[in-house]
Structure 1
Amino acid sequence: MNASAPEPLSLQDYLQRILTARVYDVARETPLDFAPQLSAKIGQNMWLKREDCQPVFSFKLRGAYNRMARLTGGQRARGVICASAGNHAQGVALSSQKLGCRALIVMPVTTPQVKIDAVQSFGGSQVQIVLSGESYSDAYQHALQLEREQGLTFIHPFDDPDVIAGQGTVAMEILRQHQGPLDAIFVAVGGGGLIAGVSAYVKALRPEVRIIAVQMADSNAMMQSVEQDQVVELADVGLFSDGTAVKKVGSETWRLARSLVDEFITVDTDEVCAAIKDIFQDTRSIVEPAGALCVAGARKYAQTRAQGQPGQNWVGITCGANMNFDRLRFVAERALLGEGREAMLAVTIPEARGSFRRLCQRIGGAAITEFNYRIADPKEAHIFIGLGVQHPGDAQTLQDDLRAEGFGVIDLSHDDLAKEHLRHMVGGRTAQAEGERLFRVIFPERPGALMRFLGGMPSDCNITLFHYRNQGADYARVLIGIQPAPGNEAALDDWLQTQQLPWTEESTNPSYKLFLR
């Protein structure tokens, strides 16, 4: 006769496990920092629980060490194995070094190199890394196979009571550090270990505090599992927030989330990029996408669910900072869109001399973030424009103004194809640019500089190419093609000599001849 299954752990069981968790041999109590700029922006009092300040730059160290510190001597002697998108792996690596046991770590092939390098440096010679699969779930299956083959002890990244208890010490610190009124805690969710531990501790002691789970819209396995009242497995997950890219949550983390989490909210890539910028503005630290989910969720919650309820006290757990440096280019590019402070438009104007100038006049002093144009059709010109706006309504006002001028306008601000690809592909060869000359010009980065430059250009010159992207510097670098009127090149040369802006002619550049001429 089979033994009966053990009773599920109660809140009191978890409270005791959290209070006695062994985490501070390797982890530190992280700060709870008030975020003044973010608070002013969302109209709520926002504190950041800085788990990005851990030795491994992530909360994952807490759960990994608590689990491994409780292994028997025989288990440690045989060694451990884990599957991880990177942060849990670093926790296991550092724990293995501290406890003196071998660790085999399976990571998805999509794991950022910064995390792979960190795992090796934390674990040294005691750690062996195996890359397998596209996501955590794929790596997990391979790790289970290696566990059986080599007799290792599996250290689960989230679905284990000792791991959950270790992560719950984050909440223990929050309630000790913020003993006044607290309305909500925003928690990023992948497999659910952090939110399970946080919600168990908070609901045991402060049940009035709302626990709000934040997930990527394309990796929301926990939300779907709670909604369907069963653990579901996603066919695919988005990989931008690799730390939360989990196809299937744990059965124990699901059990706790189902009964303890108050609300779920999902965010997209642009919103997370904006949140990374928000955190940087207040802390001068750069978190990874998973680490910014809490702020992205809080921003969206303030806009959609907490209207008319300002001044609440919220905490967001910035759970990781293992960001690949190269990814910052993408984050900076998408942050303005995520804040609702950039509009991307496709504008169609007549392909006639003077139309380009009329467009610039209509745009006026608006902050241009990107401007791409290449002559291609004898009747119509299609121009890709990025514009900085202060308020969401400003973008619509500008569109109305452009249409009143007779220009065609399409809003591309929510078009992923345009944001990810087309903005970088405007250009190409054309027979319409006969006699074109190409120039690189450096503009001071301030409104009106372009109009002043164009104002004195000979009226019979035609602009055939224009490319500009805001790089966040004091000066803007612009590429411009100018087609002088037949037989009147001297007027263009005379005008150029009067310009005080630095410019260089590139009409003989080999790359121009290959791709644009």
Structure 2
Amino acid sequence: MTTAAALPTDDDAEATTDLLSRIRVARVYEVAQESALEPAPLLSVRLGHRVLLKREDQQPVFSFKLRGAYNRMVQLDAAQRVHGVIAASAGNHAQGVALAAAKLGIHALIVMPVTAPQVKVDAVRRLGGAMVEIVLVGDSFSDAQAAAVQLQAERGATFVHPFDDLSVIAGQGTVALEILRQHPGPLHAVFVPVGGGGLLAGVAACIKSLRPEVQVIGVQAADADAMARSLEAGERVMLDEVGLFADGTAVKQVGAHTFALCQQHVDAMLRVDNDAICAAIRDIYQDTRSVPEPSGALALAGLKQYVAAHGASSDGALVAIVSGANMNFDRLRFVAERAELGEQREAVFAVTIPEQRGSFRRFCAALGQHNITEFNYRIGDASQAHIFVGVQTAGRGEREALVAAFHAQQFGVLDLTDDELAKLHLRHMIGGRSLLAQDERLYRFEFPERPGALTCFLSQLHPDWNISLFHYRNHGADYGRILVGIQVPDAEQPLFERFVATLGYPYVDESAHPAYRLLLRG
């Protein structure tokens, strides 16, 4: 956990007082509603602590973002309104701008990445109607923002920043005013999802001004942790790449205003992985029968991580802001698969047993009464058999006990529960080892998921190198994941490594991965 708060200066105190005044007069309720602060009874029992969910996913655009967008746009003067506004967004901010544009009669040009979830693009068109023009550019929010800056210079429109604007921050800060009004009793901590930092900055500044004893903890996806890294470094950090699963918070660099405010007011930052996010989505569904988007479940994933590290407490409730529910339906398949892993309710192993009578019976005895979620086996050679197995567990303790049981039978075992290669690819393609892949190199790639993207990737592979293994599975997300085995003679390895580096896709060399060598390599 990253500790974030810095000692305030006189200038900081003045800026915070000014921001609190802005929050108190923010004009958000012309479009937004005061969202519910709901108990989560099932989670509260499980965690031994009262858990409350701030339901920003129930806003008219299914996200908190309309608060800041409207508060910024309603303050435009007559001349600015004539020239219109421009915004860049992966989706939720765009919906807020679109709704504000329709409400205020202001033309809005909204630049979105090609990879933006279709549900968000369609919502922007529906909310903005004739007042909104959409341009799809690039693969990320950063690409869209660069294009928006260029278009702004050409058109003279006012740029409505998704997070690094004091009026936007003030609009988002009204969430904190509501929390404090709705729960005047003991409050231990508020957990806030973080992308560029607008919501966290506004919430933290407000809470620390009015209830300084309440902890404010930001939560980021582990592969999009720009704010956490910036606070650790003491300056804004630019990430080379960001993971896109939690697309609403996939920001490479946080804002200047948001960084300064978070540096002053935020108590700590937490990082959570995709499995933990999926588990939190399921938790919210079980308590509310609502399905948040990945970024919308970030705060709860962090809350659960915090309780696991610090234990149950009776010194006040814990609040998680459920920030949005703009989920592509197809993505639910991936969420359901990974939620069990995120909750430590499924363990995945590769087990090697002797190819002899009685081995399989001993393997089943080691499993005991555990429910099997997946089982893949194919005879490998005359002496050994390799099994890929998924098992329902009640936590890390049972997982470790299973490993010990396998070892007691003198079976070789790889615990793959936390292994991304195994969870994404290997579990879907176990089919035996190949004796024809002696010179095979194995790489895992990510690429923007859009029509023709996979064909485009394949067309860039060098025609002189043979593809010996390939796995792709559509996860309903805005980026694709593939696993590729390519046969490359030893003499051509330097040339191949230079080639891979020029492809332009994030990649991981998995050639030495133990599960690959055990289950698929000859």
Residue 224 of structure 1 aligns with an amino acid whose one-letter code is R
Partner of 1:62: 67
Structure 2 distance, partners of 1:410, 1:82, is 48
**Which range moved further: 344-353 or 415-424?**
344-353
Query: Which residue does the alignment assign to 1:503?
Result: none
* One-letter identity of the residue aligned with 2:189: A
Paired letter, 2:426: L
Of 172, 194, 201, 2:177 maps to: 172
Whether contact under 8 Å (2:231, 2:263) holds in the other structure is: yes
C-alpha contact 1:171 1:198 (8 A) present in aligned 2:
yes
Among 209, 215, 231, the residue aligned to 1:226: 231
Amino acid at match of 2:384: E
Secondary structure of residue in 2 paired with 1:211:
strand
Residue 248 of structure 1: aligned partner:
253
Query: Secondary structure in 1 aligned to 2:169?
Result: helix
Compute the RMSD of aligned alpha carbons: 1.8
1:131 Cα deviation after fit: 1.6
Secondary structure of 1:219 counterpart: coil
The letter for the 2-side match of 1:83 is: A
Among residues 332, 335, 339, which one is paired with 2:339 in the alignment? 335
Instruction: Decide which of 115, 128, 132 is 1:110's aligned counterpart.
Output: 115
1:135 CA displacement: 2.0
2:422 is aligned to 418
User: How many aligned positions are there?
Assistant: 425
- The structure with higher relative contact order (CA 8 Å, sep 6+) is 2
Deviations 1:113-154 (A, max 9, x none): 111111111111221111222221221111100000111110
Give a deviation string over 1:349-401, Cα, whole Å, max 9, x none.
12235533442233232011111112232221111101011131111112221
CA displacement at 1:323 relative to structure 2: 0.7
User: Residues 453-480 of structure 1: CA distance to partner in whole angstroms, max 9, x if unpaired?
Assistant: xxxxxxxxxxxxxxxxxxxxxxxxxxxx
- For 1:362 and 1:192, locate their aligned partners in 2 and report how far apart those are by CA, in whole Å: 48
**Does residue 46 of the first structure (1) align with residue 58 of the second (2)?**
no
Partner of 2:296: 291
Q: Distance in 2 between matches of 1:220 and 1:345?
A: 30
Structure 2, unmatched stretches of 5+, are: 1-10, 436-522
Aligned letter for 2:226?
A
The residue that corresponds to 2:78 in the other structure is 73
Q: Tell me how far 1:428 sits from its aligned partner.
A: 5.6
Query: Which of 406, 409, 414 lines up with 2:410 in the alignment?
Result: 406
For residues 349 and 82 of structure 2, the distance between their equivalents in structure 1, rounded to whole angstroms, comes to 62
Query: CA–CA distance in 1 between the matches of 2:267 and 2:364?
Result: 50
Q: Percent identity?
A: 60
Q: Distance in 2 between matches of 1:398 and 1:190?
A: 38
Q: Secondary structure at the match of 1:71?
A: coil
The residue aligned with 2:372 is: 368
Amino acid at match of 2:170: A
- Residue 318 of structure 2 is matched in structure 1 by 314
Q: Matched residues in 1 for 2:90 and 2:188: separation?
A: 31
CA contact (8 A) 2:47 2:312 kept: no
For the pair 1:359 / 2:363, whether they are aligned, the reply is: yes
Give unpaired runs (5+ residues) of structure 1.
Answer: 1-5, 432-517
Q: Is 2:280 aligned against 1:275? A: yes
Q: Is the 8 A contact 1:81 1:105 kept in 2?
A: yes
Q: Tell me how far apart the structure 2 counterparts of residues 110 and 192 of structure 1 sit (CA, whole Å).
A: 22
Residue pair 2:186, 2:315 contacting (<8 A) in 1 also: no
Q: Which amino acid aligns with 1:377?
A: D
Give, in whole Å, the separation in 2 of the partners of 1:203 and 1:406.
57
1:367-386 matches, within 5 Å, as 367-386=371-390
Alpha carbons of 1:55 and 1:308: their partners in 2 closer, same or farther (altered >3 Å)? Answer: closer
C-alpha displacement at 1:310, in angstroms? 4.8
Separation in structure 2 between the aligned mates of residue 144 and residue 327 of structure 1, nearest angstrom: 31
Distance 1:313 1:7 in 2: 29
* Mapped contact 1:233–1:247 kept (Cα < 8 A): yes
CA distance in 1, matches of 2:234, 2:34: 35
From 428, 431, 456, give the equivalent of 1:427: 431
Give the drift of 1:291. Answer: 0.5
One-letter amino acid of the structure 1 residue matched with residue 344 of structure 2: G
- Give secondary structure in 1 for the equivalent of 2:407: helix
Kept in 2, the 8 Å contact 1:212–1:264? The answer is yes
Secondary structure, counterpart of 1:271 in structure 2? helix
Q: Distance in 2 between matches of 1:368 and 1:313?
A: 37
- Aligned partner letter, 1:104: L
Computing the radius of gyration over CA atoms, which structure comes out larger, 1 or 2? 1
For 1:312 and 1:132, how far apart are their aligned partners in 2? 46
Q: Closer, same or farther in 2 for the Cα pair 1:310/1:333, shift >3 Å?
A: farther
Structure 2 Cα separation of the partners of residues 276 and 116 of structure 1: 22
**Does residue 24 of structure 2 align to residue 19 of structure 1?**
yes
1:161 corresponds to 2:166? yes
CA distance in 2, matches of 1:423, 1:131: 35
What is the alpha-carbon distance in structure 2 between the residues aligned to residue 21 and residue 158 of structure 1? 15
Give the Cα separation in 1 of the matches to 2:249 and 2:171: 18
Question: Taking structure 2 as the reference length, what is the TM-score of the superposition?
Answer: 0.79
Contact 1:376/1:430 (8 A) holds in 2? no
Q: SS in structure 1 opposite 2:135?
A: strand
Verify: 1:324 aligned to 2:338, yes or no: no
What is the rounded CA distance, in whole Å, between the counterparts of 1:294 and 1:310 in structure 2?
Answer: 20
Aligned amino acid, residue 172 of structure 1: L
Task: Verify the 8 A CA contact 1:375 1:430 in the aligned structure 2.
Answer: no
Report whether the alignment pairs 1:197 with 2:182.
no
Distance in 2 separating the partners of 1:114 and 1:357: 50
Alignment of 1:384-403 (within 5 A): 384-403=388-407
Q: Tell me what 1:349 maps to.
A: 353
Q: Which amino acid aligns with 2:55?
A: R
C-alpha distance 285-79 of structure 1, shift in aligned 2 (>3 A): same
Match runs of 1:408-487 below 5 Å? 408-427=412-431
Aligned residue type for 1:82: A
User: Per the alignment, in what secondary structure is the counterpart of residue 11 of structure 1?
Assistant: helix
Deviation of 1:311 (Å): 5.6
Residue in structure 1 matched with residue 141 of structure 2 by the alignment: 136
Q: Relative to structure 1, is the Cα distance of residues 153 and 345 closer, same or farther in structure 2, using a 3 angstrom cutoff?
A: same
Give, in whole Å, the separation in 2 of the partners of 1:237 and 1:403: 39
- On the 8 A contact 2:187/2:315 being kept in 1, the answer is no
Q: How far apart in 2 are the matches of 1:91 and 1:276? A: 23
SS at match of 2:111: strand
1: distance between equivalents of 2:414 and 2:316?
39
The amino acid that maps onto 1:91 is G
Alpha-carbon displacement from aligned partner over 1:227-271 (angstroms, at most 9, x marks no partner): 222112111111111111000111001110000001111111111
Compare 185-194 and 125-134 and name the one that shifted more: 125-134
Please tell me the residue identity of whatever aligns with 2:192.
V
